[in-house]
Structure 1
C-alpha cells in the first residue's frame, strides 16, 4: 500500500495551477490548520462524488477508476452494510428504483424499493442486482453499463492497483456512513457496530492515514473519534443552523466542515478556518460555482463531474 508524501507542494492534478488558488486565500493554509489538516492543506481537494456519477454509474469501480483517470485527489463514496456484515458501496441502504434492476433484469418499482434492503441480504445476493445498465435519468451524459454494487474492499484494491500502475500520487478516501437513528438495526447496524466494521476494514486495507469519515449522523462521527482519534472526520451539513450550533450537536470540532454548496459564503469559510477546519462543499457541478467557491477560500469541492473540475484547474 502507498503512503502519501506530504512534503509534495501539490498533487499532480494541480501542477501548474497552484498559483490560481494560492491567491484566493488571505493567509497561508498552514497557519489555519491543525496538524492532521496540514497534510491535506497542500492542495485544493477535488473529490469525485460517488466516483464520477455524471459520467459512469455511481459508486461503482468503473466510476472510481474514471475519477482517478481524471485526476481527482479524493474518492468520495457511501457505505451500507450487508446481512453478512460486509461493507457495500451504496448511497441508499436499498436498491434504488431510479437506477437498479432485479437479478432477472426487471427494473425495481419505486413502491418496491424497501423490499430490497441491503441489510437483509448477503453480498452474494446483492451482487446479482444491476445498477448501471439503465443509465441515470438525471445524468444524461452518464454512460450506461451493466455493473453491480461493489464491496468497499474491492474498490480500494482496484484504486490502489490503478494508482500503482499509473505511477500516480497516493489517493485519499472520503467515506460516508449512511446511517440514521430511524434506521438502526433495520436498515443498518447501530453506530457502534457500523463504525467497528468500518474501522476494521480501513486498518486491514492500510489506508488509515488517507481516510476521511463523513456523515450527517453525528453518532457515527462521535464513535469514530472515540475509537480512532487519528482519523480525519467531516461533518456533512444541509440545514440552516449556524456553524456553532452544528458543532454543538457534534460535541467537538472535526477536521472538515462539509456543507451543501448553497450554504457557503465567505463568513462561513472564515469562521470555519478560525476553528482550524477545512471547508469542502458538496455537490459542485458547474465550473462557475467551482471558481466562486475557490475564490471564497474553500479548500476543495465534491463533484459529480471531475472532468469539469480538471478543465477549470488546467485553465
Structure 2
C-alpha cells in the first residue's frame, strides 16, 4: 500500500506552504504532508521553501532578515494557483495547532553548522510541546543538518533527501542513521528501491503528479509518494 504525502500542502491546488494549502490536503483525506523550514531572524520556524521571499511573496530579502511577527503578515500566494484570500507565511507552530496530520516530513534546507543545530533543536522543542516527536521526520539533503539531527535530536527520525545519484544515496542515508529516504522519482529504479527497503528505509518519492507515474511507482512498491495534487493521487491510487 503506497501512502500519499501532500507536497508543501497541496502545492498544485493552493499557494504552497500556507495554512490554506495544508487544509486543502486534509480535505482530500490525505493526512501526511511534506513542508520546508527556514528560521526567522528571531529564531522561529517559518514554513517557506526558498531562503528568500521574492518568489512566493511580493517582498524582497531573506527570510532570516525578518522577524516572525512580520513574516506572518506577508502574503505568500504569489506564483501559485490563483487564490482569492491572502495566504500568509505560517509558523510551524500554527500548523501543529491547526492541522491533524499523522506524519510530517519537515525539510530543512542546507545550513551552516550553527544554524543547523539551532533549527533541529527548535523542531525538537516544538514537537515535544505538541506531542509530535513520533509524528515528525527531519529531512534534508544537507549532511550538516543530518549530522546535527543525529547528535542533538537522536529521538526524532531522520530522512535523506536525494536529488542526484552522484553519491550513493543508500550509503549516505546509512551513514546518518536515516530511516526515510526521500528520493527524486527519476532515481527510483526497482533495484535501488528493493535495496533501500532491505536496508530498512521507508522510500518516499517526489514530486509525482502524473496518474500513470503514480500507478507505476505504486506497482514498483514505493512506500509513499509526495505529490502537488493529493486529491488526484487519492483518486488514482484509492481503489488499489
Larger Rg: 1
Instruction: Look up the match of 2:107.
Output: 176
Q: Give the SS at the match of 1:209.
A: coil
Say whether residues 1:194 and 2:139 are aligned partners: no
Q: Give the SS at the match of 1:190.
A: helix
Shift of 1:96: 2.7
Instruction: Look up the match of 2:163.
Output: 238
Q: Give the SS at the match of 1:225.
A: helix
Residues paired across the two proteins, number:
239
CA contact (8 A) 2:146 2:176 kept: no
Instruction: Look up the match of 1:212.
Output: 137
Shift of 1:193: 1.6
Say whether residues 1:46 and 2:7 are aligned partners: no
Instruction: Look up the match of 2:63.
Output: 118
RMSD: 1.9
Q: Distance in 2 between matches of 1:304 and 1:251?
A: 30
Match of 2:17 among 21, 38, 59: 59
Q: Give the SS at the match of 1:208.
A: coil
Shift of 1:249: 7.7
Shift of 1:257: 1.2
1:190-216 Cα shifts (integer Å, max 9, x gaps): 211221122111111210011111001
Q: Distance in 1 between matches of 2:92 and 2:148?
A: 20
Say whether residues 1:225 and 2:150 are aligned partners: yes
- Runs of 4+ in structure 1 deviating by more than 4 angstroms, as ranges, are none
Instruction: Look up the match of 1:159.
Output: 99
Q: Give the SS at the match of 2:206.
A: coil
Q: Distance in 1 between matches of 2:116 and 2:178?
A: 18
Shift of 1:158: 0.6
Q: Distance in 1 between matches of 2:195 and 2:84?
A: 42
Runs of 5+ consecutive residues of structure 2 not aligned to the other structure: none
TM-score by length of 1: 0.71
Instruction: Look up the match of 2:197.
Output: 273
